[in-house]
Amino acid sequence: MLTFFYSTQTCSTAIHIALEEAEIPFRGVEVSWKRKLNLAELEAASPLGQVPVLVKDGQALVQSIAILEYVANQAPAKNLLPAAGTWERSQAMSWLSFIGSDFQKSFLPMFMASRWTTDTAVQLEVKKTVMAGIDKHLAYINQSLAGKDYIMGKQFTVVDAFLFTIVGWCKWSEIKIGNHPNLVAYLQRIYDRPAVQKVLAKEEMLDFIPS
Ligand SMILES: N[C@@H](CCC(=O)N[C@@H](CS)C(=O)NCC(=O)O)C(=O)O
């Protein structure tokens, strides 16, 4: 059986959703740095000491995009990614790269500016710049969702699990999403999915919907 290391309120929620949507059996191991929960087990599984980690036959798979692709491939009937080799598959991979490389990373200075500078005035300046960048990304996502139920069209994919998770982080910042109506409707559509409800309940995040 697969072992999945996750921590609530992090990017690993996306993989948690993908696993539930795929209906793949797994053993979940919750990690918490604050509560010092299962940290040694996480370090033993992956020297990076970060979540998400998926372990199969004693071997670890790290990096959200790789794990999401693996999970989608294990449940082909669920169509959690377009078929390999198609233009649509590359479009889905493009979205995963955007979310993991550009969008997700821009939240770091919002939440952890003190990692780079202890000067609070500089922290505020950095946050302002970063917020403008995130808002530009939200506008791009909103525009891309026009006329669609999900980011790839009519079908829910692991891209939606990832996008829902990272856009949701706006909830913990001063960034408002109310002026992006396609995005607001999209988040609600994903939030209402039974697999998503199951994960949010498990991770104690049922209030996870930004305004
Ligand atoms: N590029 C990695 C990023 C992993 C990552 O940054 N994980 C964060 C949670 S979102 C983490 O474990 N942070 C704790 C730490 O770095 O100590 C991925 O896509 O999986």
Position 111 scores a pLDDT of 86
Range of the domain at 71: 2-78
133 shares a domain with 110: yes
Q: Which of 53, 78, 103 is the last residue of a domain?
A: 78
Position 144 scores a pLDDT of 98
Q: 21 CA distance to ligand 1 centroid (A)?
A: 22
Is 55 inside any structural domain? yes
Residue 109 pLDDT greater than 90, yes or no: no
99 shares a domain with 57: no
What's the whole-number mean pLDDT along residues 6-16? 98
pLDDT digits (tens, 9 = 90+) for 56-90: 999 999 999 999 999 999 999 999 999 999 999 99
CATH number of the CATH domain containing 127: 1.20.1050.10
pLDDT digits (tens, 9 = 90+) for 34-47: 999 999 999 999 99
Atom of ligand 1 at shortest range from CA of 67: 20
Ligand 1 pocket check for 51: Cβ under 6 Å: yes
DSSP class of 32:
B
113 shares a domain with 50: no
31 shares a domain with 59: yes
b/e map 135-155, b = 16+ CB within 10 Å: bebbeebbeebeeeebbbeeb
* DSSP assignment of 45-74: H-TT--S-EEEETTEEEESHHHHHHHHHHH
103 shares a domain with 61: no
Residue 115 pLDDT greater than 90, yes or no: no
72 shares a domain with 125: no
Atom of ligand 1 at shortest range from CA of 50: 12
Residue 116 pLDDT greater than 90, yes or no: no
Instruction: Please return the burial class of 164, using the count of CB atoms within 10 Å of its CB with bins 0-12, 13-18 and 19+.
Output: buried
Ligand 1 pocket check for 162: Cβ under 6 Å: no
Indicate yes or no: pTM above 0.85.
yes
Number of domains comprising the chain: 2
117 shares a domain with 24: no
Is 210 inside any structural domain? no
Q: In 10 A of CB 46, how many CB atoms?
A: 17
- Mutating to test ligand 1, I would choose from 51, 69, 108 the residue with most ligand atoms within 8 A of its C-beta, which is 51
- Look up residue 137 and give its amino acid: H
pLDDT digits (tens, 9 = 90+) for 124-167: 898 889 999 999 999 999 999 999 999 999 999 999 999 999 99
Q: 73 CA distance to ligand 1 centroid (A)?
A: 23
CATH number of the CATH domain containing 50: 3.40.30.10
Position 112 scores a pLDDT of 86
- Mutating to test ligand 1, I would choose from 11, 103, 159 the residue with most ligand atoms within 8 A of its C-beta, which is 11
Spatial separation of the C-alpha atoms in residues 55 and 31, rounded to whole Å: 14
CA 53 from centroid of its chain's CA atoms: 13
132 shares a domain with 72: no
Q: Which of 43, 78, 113 is the last residue of a domain?
A: 78
Position 113 scores a pLDDT of 86
Ligand 1 pocket check for 10: Cβ under 6 Å: yes
